[in-house]
Homo-oligomer: A and B are copies of this chain.
Amino acid sequence: MKAYQTMNKEELLIVKDELQKKYQDFKAMGLKLDMSRGKPSAEQLDISMGMMDVLNSNTSLICEEGIDCRNYGNLNGIKEARELLGAISEVSPENIIIYGNSSLNIMYDTIARSMTHGVLGSTPWCKLDKIKFLCPVPGYDRHFAITEFFGIEMVNVPMTEAGPDMDIVEKLVSEDAAIKGIWCVPKYSNPQGYTYSEDTVKRFAALQPAAEDFRIYWDNAYSVHHLYQDDQDFCLEILSECEKAGNPDMVYKFTSTSKISFPGSGVAAIATSEKNVKDILKQLTLQTIGHDKVNQLRHVRYFKDLQGVHEHMMKHADSMRPKFEMVIKTMESEFSGLEIASWTSPKGGYFISFESLDGCAKEIVQRAKEAGVVLTPAGATYPYGKDPKDSNIRIAPSYPTVAELKKAMELFVICVKLVSAEHILTTK
């Protein structure tokens, strides 16, 4: 294929006309597909239905410590759940607090608590003039939404294939005491599917922050969410690295089973140093008497252990893999040589990051929407919804069926080509 940029105006107009016809045909089909969020498909949800059978009215709901899971108590979660979530998080159960169903809720609460009560005795953030967070970009919109809500200034840090640009992170964190945190999705990152390199994790652990209450917000959302049995990313465990580096309290690691069992009906946890755990529990004991222990028990009885989780996740992989492969294959065959697009090829997680020509992302998403395919809004992967180059689009292949996704990708390809051709034409 000839690169669009090298075509002359007449060639491009022909391309554009053809694309426009195809686009109109698609519009006429009245598609209605949602690829906006990282939602598991119905097929994936079916994988976990066995979980609905592990507890019934004849089951003992007494956990290993002899506590009746039906009653109040166990603020930090039942022991076997802390063991299971500890194994998923690669930390020991002492470092785990089990919460409710949502790791996002834990992140929100962690920041809310820092605002009103500070971190390990430091000044509450609401008493300070300015608080800043580093935001590797492109990144996860719901992270950015929390910090924006609390009036925290967000500072973009470019992502590389090895993680955030650590030269920048080190410099900013060590120089500016207003920087209190950084949002990280270290494994199969949202939206790229990148995994932080060993060097990146070690540099994170060795940070020398100007602020004593600086914390790394390590959202380990996709720790066991591989696409392949024999080709998986590995990410160094951050808590132990921080401890080795003399910064034991510097990280909050978040996880949940939302994309392992059921989104919304899973179990979420924070993993952090025992000192932080103690600090958090002092607040948590005022916020609740305890989280849903029956659901914790349900998860442990169903998955049994980390091996059980891994086997379960391979069933998810079998459902997800064809979708990821189809999206990537489609883009390879449709875009190669045109020089109008690039994209990532993750080995896990929920997303593919797509880069259009500068200034085209918003229009591509808009065209797709008008023809019935909802993508994540362009800009969403940047703080304040502002993608400075207007080029990044997050592709979420999980929710539609393969057949639906195929149709959606056909349309996406047309939209990308059409908008790119139009864009280049304006400069000719």
Question: What mask results when residues 165 to 209 of chain A are scored 1 for a CB within 8 Å of chain B, else 0?
Answer: 000000000000000000000000000000000000000000000
A112-B112, A116-B116 are contacts. A264–B291 as well, Cβ < 8 Å?
yes
Interface size class of chain A, counting residues whose CB lies under 8 Å from the partner chain = 35 or more
State in angstroms the CA–CA spacing of A264 and B258 once bound together: 19
Query: Hey, which chain B residues are within 8 Å of A281, CB to CB?
Result: none
- Of the candidates B40, B283, B292, B294, the one whose C-beta lies within 8 Å of that of A149 is B283
State in angstroms the CA–CA spacing of A73 and B268 once bound together: 16
Q: Would A288 and B104 count as touching, CB distance under 8 A?
A: yes
Q: Is A129 an interface residue (CB 8 A)?
A: no
Q: Is A102 an interface residue (CB 8 A)?
A: yes
Q: Would A288 and B71 count as touching, CB distance under 8 A?
A: no
Residues facing B in A382-399 (CB within 8 A) are none
Query: Hey, which chain B residues are within 8 Å of A262, CB to CB?
Result: 70-71, 294
Q: Is A24 an interface residue (CB 8 A)?
A: no
Question: What mask results when residues 48 to 82 of chain A are scored 1 for a CB within 8 Å of chain B, else 0?
Answer: 11101101110101000000111111100000000
Q: Smallest distance from the beta carbon of A338 to chain B beta carbons, Å?
A: 35
State in angstroms the CA–CA spacing of A264 and B124 once bound together: 30
Q: Smallest distance from the beta carbon of A70 to chain B beta carbons, Å?
A: 4
Q: Would B265 and A292 count as touching, CB distance under 8 A?
A: yes
Query: Hey, which chain B residues are within 8 Å of A286, CB to CB?
Result: 108, 142, 145-146, 149
Q: Would A288 and B108 count as touching, CB distance under 8 A?
A: yes
A148 and chain B: residue at smallest CB distance: B286
Q: Is A331 an interface residue (CB 8 A)?
A: no
Chain A interface residues (CB < 8 Å from chain B): 37, 39-40, 42, 45, 48-50, 52-53, 55-57, 59, 61, 68-74, 100-102, 104-105, 108-109, 112, 115-117, 124, 126-127, 142, 145-146, 149-150, 258, 262-265, 283, 286-295
Contacts A52-B61, A56-B56, A126-B126 aside, 10 further interface pairs with beta carbons under 8 A come to A42-B68, A52-B59, A53-B57, A70-B262, A71-B262, A102-B290, A109-B287, A116-B116, A292-B292, A292-B295
